[in-house]
Chains A and B, each alone.
Chain A
Amino acid sequence: MTSDELSLEEALDDLEAIVSYLEEGKMSLEESLALFEKGIHLVRQCRLSLEKAEQRIEIITGELPPDLRG
């Protein structure tokens, strides 16, 4: 499972964490703004990956392992 950028799962997890941080409201204004910006970026990324719905389908072909060979 190679992926250079964040997977949808990681992006959504991060996003949820960011929202709850922001909702706690314990950060400085600068921190809040930086997080907000990051959050917006994540939203965009998730949306993009959902719109693309990129799929890679592969079919396994191969020989039987020795213990399963007749």
Chain B
Amino acid sequence: MTQIFTVSELNQRIKDRLDADPRLHDLWASGEVSNLINHRSGHRYFTLKDRESMISCVLFRGQGRTGFDLQDGQNVLVFGDVDCYRPQGRVQLIVRGVRLDKGLGVRHLEFEALKEKLAAEGLFDPEKKRALPRYPRCIGIVTSPDGAALRDVLRIVGSYPVRIIISPALVQGEGASASICLAFRALQGRTDLVIVCRGGGSAEDLWCFNSEMVARAIADCDCPVISAVGHETDVTIADFVADLRAPTPTAAARMAVPDTTELTADLVSLERRMVRALWSGLERKQEHLQYLERDLSLRRMRGRLEEASQRLDYLGQRLGQAEQKRIESYRQRLESAGSRLGSVSPLATLSRGYSLVRSERGLVRGAKDVDPGETLEIMLADGRLWARVLEKSG
């Protein structure tokens, strides 16, 4: 007879079967922790997985103290019971105890192995990191077109004049790695900077950024790449290969374009420097002109002085001994002429006892030139006398 279950009945039945199976109780299971959520309620939810399969786990508050910090990627042994969560028909492990298994999870081992391999190839070398363009013209963005990361990037880049090419990619789940590679390929030769970004998510969600093909796509990109995958604490292989790692998509955008406020301030200062340079150029020219002016008059004067002194030297040379003799003879001639002049001078006559008499009207040559009472000047060889005329006769 065919029974028709309601969904609730079906889930109840599954739950009953699970509860009834002793092998599904007080069991140990080993696997890797992922998608760990520390809920506000104090309960912890995570997925336990191995290479092929996964199962949801719940660790209720107060149940099984772990004694260590449960984290994604850890390999653990859990102790508990299999249960069916009826509202969702979900089979899950109610965990009552967790123990850290030896070693890291498989994925972590893969991660470390790839990291080591790529590092050995030199893909992470600091000298391989390319400098970002100061003023990018065309920025490529590899991300999900629906993600918050894209909106964050566009919000920041929005104040700067730049061309943007969005190259859509799946950023989680199956095919994400290939999709990211394709998105990089599509930007080839078209941009001078690429931002590859994704918002926060579980280690599982971000896993596609740990693939070798994505690492190579970033390394092969023909322009610098900024990676911003997940939150600040998430580090992926993509971050190691990228030329620059940004903690968040918003930070990536800030690194990608210059701050327009700063640029505007730079422009003002450039303008100021230009005006100052022009003015100081003018002042320098003026000073130079003044200097030349001064220099010119000084030089002219010095030139004249030098010319005169040369002429003096020249003349001095020409005044040889012969010339000096001639000067000597001139002097002798001068002396003899002087003495001859002396013999005809009135002074010579006076020295012989004669005297000269002068009135106000001039030389007195006779009595008629003089009136009584007048003062006369009598010149003698050795001096003068002034005499008054008492009387005159003749």
Instruction: Given the known inter-chain contacts A47-B267, A53-B260, please indicate yes or no for A7 contacting B164, CB distance below 8 A.
Output: no
Interface of A is mostly: helix
- Tell yes or no: B60 within 8 A of A by CB: no
- Tell yes or no: B263 within 8 A of A by CB: yes
- Tell yes or no: B386 within 8 A of A by CB: no
10 contacts between A and B (CB under 8 A): A7-B135, A9-B135, A15-B267, A23-B277, A25-B281, A40-B274, A50-B161, A53-B159, A59-B145, A65-B182
Q: Which residues of A contact B133 (CB under 8 A)?
A: 9
Q: 4 smallest A-B Cβ distances: which pairs?
A: A22-B277, A9-B135, A23-B277, A25-B281
Interface centre among A43, A54, A55, A58 (most CB of B within 10 A): A55
Interface mask (A17-61 → B, CB under 8 Å = 1, otherwise 0): 011001101010100110010011001001101101111111111
- Tell yes or no: B167 within 8 A of A by CB: yes
- Tell yes or no: B176 within 8 A of A by CB: no
Interface mask (B261-274 → A, CB under 8 Å = 1, otherwise 0): 00110010011011
- A6 to chain B minimum Cβ distance, whole angstroms, is 11
- CB of B274 within 8 A of CB of A1, answer no
Q: Which A residue sits closest to B284, measured CB to CB?
A: A25
Q: Which residues of A contact B162 (CB under 8 A)?
A: 55
In the assembled complex, the Cα of A15 lies from the Cα of B135 at a distance in Å of 14
Instruction: Given the known inter-chain contacts A9-B133, A50-B260, please indicate yes or no for A60 contacting B167, CB distance below 8 A.
Output: yes
Q: Which residues of A contact B277 (CB under 8 A)?
A: 19, 22-23, 25
Q: Which residues of A contact B166 (CB under 8 A)?
A: 57-60
Q: Which residues of A contact B285 (CB under 8 A)?
A: 29
- CB of A55 within 8 A of CB of B278, answer no
Residues of B at under 8 Å CB distance from A? 133-135, 137-138, 145, 154, 157-168, 178, 181-183, 185-187, 190, 260, 263-264, 267, 270-271, 273-275, 277-278, 280-282, 284-285
- A14 to chain B minimum Cβ distance, whole angstroms, is 11
> Contacts A36-B275, A59-B145 given; 10 further ones with Cβ under 8 A?
A8-B161, A22-B281, A29-B285, A33-B278, A36-B278, A40-B271, A49-B161, A55-B158, A57-B166, A59-B166
- A41 to chain B minimum Cβ distance, whole angstroms, is 11
Q: Which A residue sits closest to B272, measured CB to CB?
A: A19
- CB of A12 within 8 A of CB of B135, answer yes
- CB of B137 within 8 A of CB of A16, answer no
Q: Which A residue sits closest to B138, measured CB to CB?
A: A1
- CB of A43 within 8 A of CB of B271, answer yes
In the assembled complex, the Cα of A47 lies from the Cα of B268 at a distance in Å of 10
- A16 to chain B minimum Cβ distance, whole angstroms, is 7
Instruction: Given the known inter-chain contacts A18-B274, A22-B274, A65-B185, please indicate yes or no for A46 contacting B281, CB distance below 8 A.
Output: no
Q: Which residues of B contact A12 (CB under 8 A)?
A: 135
- A11 to chain B minimum Cβ distance, whole angstroms, is 9
- CB of A52 within 8 A of CB of B161, answer yes
- CB of B168 within 8 A of CB of A43, answer no
In the assembled complex, the Cα of A15 lies from the Cα of B269 at a distance in Å of 11
Q: Which A residue sits closest to B271, measured CB to CB?
A: A43
In the assembled complex, the Cα of A8 lies from the Cα of B163 at a distance in Å of 12
- CB of B137 within 8 A of CB of A9, answer yes
